[in-house]
Structure 1
Amino acid sequence: MTSTITTHQAKTSRRGAGPARDSETAPVGTAGPDSTARSGSAPRLGLLRATSRTGSAPTRPPSVFPTGRDRTAHSAARVACIGADGPLAAQIRDHVSAAGAQLAPESDLSGCALLVVAASALPLTAPLPPRTPVLIVTAQEEVASSTWSAALALGALAVLRLPAESEQLLSLLADLTRPRSRALMLGVVAGCGGAGASSFAARLAGAARRHGTVTLVDADPRGGGLDLLVEAPDGEGATWAEIETLGPEDGAALRENLPVIDEVRLLGAGDGPGAQDVMLPRALSALAALDGTVVVDLAPELVPSAHEHLDALLLVSRADDHAVRAAARRLRDWALPVGLAHLVVRRRGPLDARDVAEDLALPLAASFRDFSPAVVPLLDVRRRGADRAARELLDALAEEIPA
């Protein structure tokens, strides 16, 4: 603990100094195994142009980098109708079309902005996608008590009678399917101890400054603290201890009250308690409703609480057998959705980055040479190494997903 404090004090005088000298690192290699071949799912976002470590073009396809949900709805929102038939189904179809939305098949509920469920189909036997709004509709003039009970169990927003409450249905459809921007949510987690995940998360946040507002979230309560890592001023802004009553509509207020370090807002712990599995999803949900980029430095034990809110999870690993084995165990424990996890390799070890990706069955998002411990993320921005890897990764995302 003493050495950490001493290092922080020694670095404090450097903030505000001139640009750091260029590092001696080599260009970042971004080639990796094709995730589509392993997962069987269609690629949702193209990543960087692949180059090998020697600069020659690889023969394999480039990696893909997915997003869990569109940050901005550029096409018609999808609405699924469950259990309706006959005149009721026709009325729902007409309302969805009038709201400018697209009716999705009942067999494919993925990516739907709203689910409209016929009361006659209740209670449902199959689970619905999490965090997707639900409306219950009925052609009956009187709503049965069993329908109200089932609607309450589903967390439905409303129970509507058609055609009597046609205007209310149209209003809700228009409101719930209108285009909304949302933050790009990127999680960063270590595959093993000493992988450099916190440092890469800070560099990723620094690279995102060119693309808009950035929030860096310290969600590693057992770590040394991102505030020390990036040399944040002491005692400024909100911390985890002060946001216990945070609600889903409080994202803007939360972000405005966070300390700003080199144009990056930081949600950290300071000297207080860090992120917990109950509080973390609330904070991520509130921040996701905003614009910009949110980078989350995750503790391994908090990945299950956070992954539903992420567009991608970047697993940072060293390039040695011990690190690969540790990362494989963590991946098994997390049981992540297909396509969410991508690999970032810190080339510290005897293995090639592409071999690490193959062993872990993950697409390779980026790799970089080891960095000097004297380099301060956000303050010391280098042209190569981890900073270059982060810049190229964020540039690719900005091109593929317009803000």
Structure 2
Amino acid sequence: MIQSQFHDVRDAGSSPAGSAPKPIVVTTDDELLDDVLRLAAAAGAAVEVVPDPGAARARWAPAPMVVVGEDQADALAFLAPGRRPAVYLIGSDSNDPTVWRRAVAIGAEHVVFLPDDEAWLADRLADAAEGRGNDALVVGVIGGRGGAGASVLATALAVTASRRELSAMLVDLDPIGGGIDLVLGAEDTTGLRWPDLADSRGRLSARALQAELPGRHGLAVLSWDRGDLLAVSPESAHVVLAAASRACDLVTLDLPRRLDPAAEEAVAACTAVLLVVPAEVRAVAAASRVAATLTTMTGDVRVVCRGPAPNGLRGTDVAAALGLPLAVQMGPERRMSEQLDRGEAPGLDPRGPLAHAATELVEQFLSERQVSAA
């Protein structure tokens, strides 16, 4: 049998005192157990092997995940341990109708058939090991024209989320934008940049990503360096953003106005995209082209109208002209250029218009997430 990082409770009455609950594997099938332990080892997940259904029932509720072999499904169903998420039944034959009846009887969310579903099961074990069951809010920010202030707003959203004690990450998808670490004032902070992650494939550890990125003001930032790399592949962007989403409560993306394939992948991962448009007629005209592209890629694009408005153009007028909902109208932030030159992150002053707008946006997104989860 493959040896792995697991706790076997064949002869034990309980888990070690004070230890965090682990995913449990309920089976007496040694061949099946070898397969699951191999996948758990690859995923970096410690599991408990619980061959006895009675012992499994005692661990059923607190376990982050339950994997049940078909050999123990009937006995577990008889004990009726209660409905819960993240229960997976490993079946032997997808054409056998009794497999599906057993899955219903134990409340399984998914029936796994090995080896076809090995990658899927390994991902679920890795999720359990990382201790996160929910994906982050992923908010993209893009300028309607050059210099609209998208990078500033993206940074302010992340700073605001961190101030609210949310786990936040700021991700720069604009390779020619100069580096959003400069906007945050973290350019001298050591840590990974995009060139270090450009070859990412498969699955990236959320914990490792968050730990290795530069950080400031309580949030992590993934930026470009000042080197020659000007693009990453869509696959690498997908891998990195998936890890970021598992690691945090809120991920804000600074998107380029010209979307390359990696940025298109990022837009597809967004909960919503904010289009920052200065209250100017020419800015609205430029933003209309950006909006036309975005709305073919995602169903939730909202306008952030930024003042001043020299001709009295209102946020509602800007949004109506673009055919998009208005998220917030933001007044001008005085002395922003001087603050950025001093390395002061946008949104730190809670009294400024930028911080007020960022707070309103974060509250909007959190309120919508609560409603959708209800």
The TM-score range, normalised by the shorter chain, is 0.5 to 0.7
Q: Is the contact made by 1:269 and 1:275 (CA closer than 8 Å) also made in structure 2?
A: no
Q: Is the contact made by 1:307 and 1:336 (CA closer than 8 Å) also made in structure 2?
A: no
1:299 corresponds in structure 2 to 256
Q: Is the contact made by 1:218 and 1:275 (CA closer than 8 Å) also made in structure 2?
A: no
Q: Is the contact made by 2:141 and 2:275 (CA closer than 8 Å) also made in structure 1?
A: yes
Runs ≥4 residues deviating over 6 A:
174-179
Q: Secondary structure at the match of 2:338?
A: coil
Write the distance in 1 (CA, Å) between the matches of 2:365 and 2:293.
28
CA-based RMSD:
3.6
1:340 corresponds in structure 2 to 300
2:137 corresponds in structure 1 to 184
| Residues 1:194 and 2:150 aligned together | no
Q: Is the contact made by 1:211 and 1:292 (CA closer than 8 Å) also made in structure 2?
A: no
1:386 corresponds in structure 2 to 354
1:271 corresponds in structure 2 to 226
Q: Is the contact made by 2:135 and 2:245 (CA closer than 8 Å) also made in structure 1?
A: yes
Q: Deviations over 1:208-244 (max 9, x none)?
A: 0114211111111111221222221425111111123
Following superposition, the deviation at residue 93 of structure 1 comes to: 6.2
Instruction: Determine which of 180, 199, 216 is the counterpart of 2:170.
Output: 216
Instruction: Determine which of 318, 322, 327 is the counterpart of 1:360.
Output: 322
Q: Give the residue type in structure 2 aligned to 1:212.
A: L
Following superposition, the deviation at residue 400 of structure 1 comes to: 4.1
Q: Is the contact made by 1:316 and 1:346 (CA closer than 8 Å) also made in structure 2?
A: yes
Write the distance in 1 (CA, Å) between the matches of 2:295 and 2:208.
33
Which one has more relative contact order, counting CA pairs under 8 Å at least 6 apart?
A: 1
How many pairs are equivalent? 265
Following superposition, the deviation at residue 91 of structure 1 comes to: 5.6
Following superposition, the deviation at residue 245 of structure 1 comes to: 3.6
Q: Secondary structure at the match of 1:307?
A: helix
Q: Deviations over 1:155-187 (max 9, x none)?
A: x627xxxxxxxxxx9x99x97999822222111
2:182 corresponds in structure 1 to 228
Residues 25-44 of structure 1: pairs in structure 2 closer than 5 A = none
2:279 corresponds in structure 1 to 319
Structure 1: gaps of 5 or more residues: 1-74, 80-85, 102-113, 117-134, 138-147, 149-155, 159-168
Tell me the TM-score normalized by structure 2.
0.61
2:290 corresponds in structure 1 to 330
Q: Deviations over 1:124-173 (max 9, x none)?
A: xxxxxxxxxxx689xxxxxxxxxx9xxxxxxx627xxxxxxxxxx9x99x
Q: Is the contact made by 1:217 and 1:295 (CA closer than 8 Å) also made in structure 2?
A: yes
Q: Is the contact made by 1:249 and 1:286 (CA closer than 8 Å) also made in structure 2?
A: yes
Tell me the TM-score normalized by structure 1.
0.57
Write the distance in 2 (CA, Å) between the matches of 1:230 and 1:370.
19
